[in-house]
Structure 1
Amino acid sequence: MDSLSSISAFLQTAETLSFTQAGRQLGLSSSAIGKTIARLEDDLGVRLFHRSTRTMTLTAEGMLFLERCRRVVSEMEAAKAELAHTQGKPRGKLRVSLPLAGMLMMPTLSAFMRAYPEIELDLDFTDRLVDVIEEGFDGVVRAGEIRDSRLMTRVLGTFRFQLVASPAYLEHRGVPRRPGELLSHACLHHRFATSGKLEPWPLKDRYRDIGLPVKAVVNTIEPLIYMAEHGHGIACLPDFAIRNKLSDGALVSVLEEYLSHEGTFRMLWPSSRYLAPKLRALVDFLAEHLFPHAPR
């Protein structure tokens, strides 16, 4: 804070080229300003002003220091403005990118819209790896590890995959007791929209590479839920997407002890940007309602 006081005295003196005028602006005596400038010059080891009995001008070093000090003060003012803004009410446009599976978050997002009517959501659903900064997003929701030093991150919650089918299908085709028995079942697969490859089922150890039959392939999760619920086969789905279907008995989980994968959803935003009230509201809401049992 002492350095900032010295910088403030220097800036006022550089603007007015007068210890007296600078003192009036800062509520100090001209003598106090003169002593502050002298100490600053001693600390820096350079002269900042050419002084005579009648005139005062900046030296070349003073001009250079002036530009730097203006930047420091500008950054301080911006920081103060940002901190003041964080105390405000969540409002305004919020542009967020979510994975295609994020469509299944719509009940939670709908509840968020009711809770924060002054926030305007601009949602982009894609599995493409967007550039958060270059494309102007306030934040992105992604599954898995994201390594980008330009981004801040917060874990929203974890999920795991489950193999599920309808009770009617299992009654007709039988309940598989071991992964090898999947070879005689109708398997419903998800294809990655970006790579075109089938998403592997996270079976443990020696069962990982068994060639599963293909009854149907889709590139979004919603059709898989529909097909499984209507008895067309067994699908591998994230638990957050089928929580209600499992609780009401529309789907039944099988072979849980043979699955090993667990995923993580994260919110990411530019590290150079403070966490605005509107973004903080969304992050907290998703963490609380989308993954209600996740550790805080």
Structure 2
Amino acid sequence: MDNLGSLNAFVQAAETRSFTTAGKQLGLSSSAIGKAVARLEERFGVRLFHRSTRTVTLTPEGALFLERCRRIFCEIEAAELELSQTLSEPRGKLRISLPLVGMLMMPTLSAFMRAYPDIELDLDFTDRLVDVIDEGFDAVIRTGKASDSRLMTRVLGRFRFKLVGSPDYFAERGVPETLADLSTHRGLRHRYPSTGKLEEWPLAARRNGAVSEPPTAATSSIIEPLVYMAEQGLGIACLPDFAIREQVEAGILISVMEDAVRNSCIFRVLWPSSRQLSPKIRIFVDFMAERLFSDPHSLRLASVRTGPGSA
């Protein structure tokens, strides 16, 4: 950096033909400019200027050196411009981890790809907890609380679970009105593929603390079969509201006992904390926060297999 400062002093002096004017432009004294030039002359072993009491003029060696210095500063400016464009324009690969239920986000992710074609999405769907930094993810989307102090976080939206079944199923089995009524129904349950455990339904506990979930009729590690089986009248499923919004609106599924479902969940996007947030991550976070829950059709079952995620 000291060398660049000396080179800049030389260029300014050569272009203005004055140490005093060059000093004013750089906020230095004329003697400081003279010393910088003298250091260059001593280093290179050539005289760069002819000096007089009134003016300074370039020697042949100085003129040659000036052209080289101009090229150096042009290259520096070009490098700064390229870096500035890289930092300001979203582009490059973006590695994102999503829960299996993230398959339901494909309409929003597809819209993001259309809006930012220079960003290459690398999507990893899993229900396991990932180490965002150690595994090299740019961002992750998860439910639940954010506990890693190394990460920044932003809430994307909230959702609730609903107990749903088909009209034909409830016509045959009856509509449950209490937690005890669930014991006579058929449960369509989600099973975590990574652990094999069944996901608990977020139901209010009975007064005696007994479990309220119905006997299991079928399990699945992904959501689509549960939705399909519920539509076919094969049992009751406990599903995220965004996964069955269209079916409920169309009357294909009926939501029951809504007061018994006791909690809601939050979708968050998390990314490594950094003073310089890259444009591609900033754009992705803003886009998902603005779009994911704003459009009633932005979260829906895609034409491919989907599945519920976990925190």
TM-score in terms of structure 2 length: 0.67
User: 1:163 and 1:120 mapped to 2: Cα distance?
Assistant: 38
Alignment of 1:192-203 (within 5 A): 192-203=192-203
Instruction: Quote the sequence identity (%).
Output: 57
Contact preservation (8 Å) 1:201, 1:208: no
Contact preservation (8 Å) 1:165, 1:233: yes
Q: What per-residue deviation string (whole Å, max 9, x for no partner) do you get for residues 47-91 of structure 1?
A: xxxxxxx9xxxxxxxxxxxxxxxxxxxxxxxxx998764532x33
Cα deviation, residue 278, structure 1? 2.5
Partner of 1:138: 138
Cα deviation, residue 122, structure 1? 0.9
User: 1:285 and 1:167 mapped to 2: Cα distance?
Assistant: 37
Secondary structure of the equivalent of 1:205?
coil
User: 1:91 and 1:81 mapped to 2: Cα distance?
Assistant: 13
Which consecutive residues of structure 1, in runs of 5 or more, have no partner in the other structure? 1-10, 34-53, 55-79
Secondary structure of the equivalent of 1:216?
strand
- The question of 1:119 aligning with 2:119 is answered yes
Partner of 2:88: 87
Cα deviation, residue 212, structure 1? 2.6
Contact preservation (8 Å) 1:94, 1:119: yes
Secondary structure of the equivalent of 1:192?
coil
User: 1:159 and 1:235 mapped to 2: Cα distance?
Assistant: 16
Partner of 2:184: 184
Contact preservation (8 Å) 2:231, 2:253: yes
Cα deviation, residue 272, structure 1? 2.3
Cα deviation, residue 195, structure 1? 2.6
Superposition RMSD on alpha carbons, in Å? 3.4
Partner of 1:288: 290
Contact preservation (8 Å) 1:240, 1:291: no
The structure having more radius of gyration, on CA atoms, is 2
Contact preservation (8 Å) 2:182, 2:212: no
TM-score in terms of structure 1 length: 0.70
Secondary structure of the equivalent of 2:168?
helix
Q: What per-residue deviation string (whole Å, max 9, x for no partner) do you get for residues 182-236 of structure 1?
A: 1000111111223322111111132662353000111122221111112111000
Partner of 1:104: 104
Alignment of 1:219-238 (within 5 A): 219-238=221-240
Distance verdict in 2 for CA 1:116–1:212, change over 3 Å: same
Alignment of 1:208-219 (within 5 A): 209-210=211-212, 212-219=214-221
Partner of 1:158: 158
Query: Higher relative contact order at CA 8 Å, sep ≥6: structure 1 or structure 2?
Result: 2
Partner of 1:58: none
The amino acid across from 2:112 in the alignment is F
Cα deviation, residue 279, structure 1? 2.4
Secondary structure of the equivalent of 1:203?
coil
User: 1:133 and 1:203 mapped to 2: Cα distance?
Assistant: 35
Secondary structure of the equivalent of 1:215?
strand
Which consecutive residues of structure 2, in runs of 5 or more, have no partner in the other structure? 14-21, 34-41, 43-80, 297-311
